[in-house]
Structure 1
Amino acid sequence: MIALLRFMLLAFVVLTVVYVCVSLYSRAVRRGKLEREWDEEIRVGDRKAYVREGLEAYDQSLRRRLIAGVYIIPMIVIGTIIYIVNY
């Protein structure tokens, strides 16, 4: 039981690092798309405000919430494997 708790704690730490990396990468890609869109199409108004508003919309998007699957899917797989092996 202690080994399982230790493993789950280690898995949580690793998944947190993965989550942060994926989240930062996804946000950087979205920022790049917004900046490129403004440069190619809009060019009117404040670029920073346009990017800020786009990132605020991104924060509310489904894609942002799906990144939380980094925690959920591995834990379900690990729990299923442990259940199958033990029972």
Structure 2
Amino acid sequence: MIALIRLVGVGFVVLTIIYVGLSVWSRRVRRRKLQERWDARRPTADREAFIRRGLERYDNSIRRKLILGVYVVPVLVVVTIIYLTNFY
């Protein structure tokens, strides 16, 4: 039982570090693309306002929510391996 608690605890910490890193990286990529789009088109809007609106849309997008798969996929893999090991 202690081994299971340790596995869950360490797994949660590792997955959280991966999630935070992936979220920061994805947001930086989105910001860079918005900056490049603004530089290419030179719209009449303020650059910072354009980037802020783009990042707000990104925050509500499905792409950001898919990053939560960092928690779901490894848990499903471990549960599947345990199930197949014990019952097949």
**Common fold by TM > 0.5:** yes
Question: What root-mean-square deviation, in Å, do the aligned CA atoms of Structure 1 and Structure 2 show?
Answer: 0.9
> Which blocks of at least 5 consecutive residues in structure 1 are unaligned?
none
TM-fit CA distance, 1:80: 1.0
Distance in 1 (CA, whole Å) between partners of 2:81 and 2:4 is: 13
1:46-85 pair list within 5 angstroms: 46-85=46-85
**1:40 alignment partner in structure 2:** 40
> Which blocks of at least 5 consecutive residues in structure 2 are unaligned?
none
Distance in 2 (CA, whole Å) between partners of 1:84 and 1:45 is: 57
TM-fit CA distance, 1:85: 1.6
Distance in 1 (CA, whole Å) between partners of 2:64 and 2:4 is: 30
Structure 1 ranges of 4+ moved more than 3 A: none
TM-score of the pair, normalised by structure 2: 0.93
TM-fit CA distance, 1:44: 1.9
TM-fit CA distance, 1:45: 2.3
**1:26 alignment partner in structure 2:** 26
| Number of residue equivalences | 87
